[in-house]
Amino acid sequence: MSDSILRVSGMRALNDILGEVNAEKFIYLINKDNFDYTEWQKDLYQDMNTDEILNMADKYYKERYPEEFKN
């Protein structure tokens, strides 16, 4: 995936979930703070094991894109 496509896809995802105003605010906060994504992820998922994280992601994906799982 090219950088420009990734940027557009990421902004669409943020806009879909947060709305335009909060997506922009999120980007602003990330840029404003000395934000370390890797450390943030460790804190966010510190009480979960890999299987729990994968199950959570799978559930989210199936709920978000149910048409891909129709028979």
Q: What is the pLDDT, as a whole number, of residue 4? A: 92
What 3-state DSSP class applies to 36? Answer: coil
Provide the percentage of residues in the chain whose pLDDT is more than 90.
31
Give me the helix-helix angle, 3-18 and 20-32, nearest 10°. Answer: 120
- With a cut of 70, say whether residue 71 has pLDDT above it: no
Residue keyed to tokens 């994504």: 37
pTM above 0.95, yes or no: no
Tell me which of 54 and 37 has the higher pLDDT: 54
Kindly tell me the number of DSSP H helices and DSSP E strands found in the chain. Answer: 4, 0
Q: What is the pLDDT, as a whole number, of residue 51? A: 92
CB atoms within 10 A of CB 27: 14
Q: What is the mean pLDDT of residues 19-32?
A: 90
Q: What is the mean pLDDT of residues 4-14?
A: 92
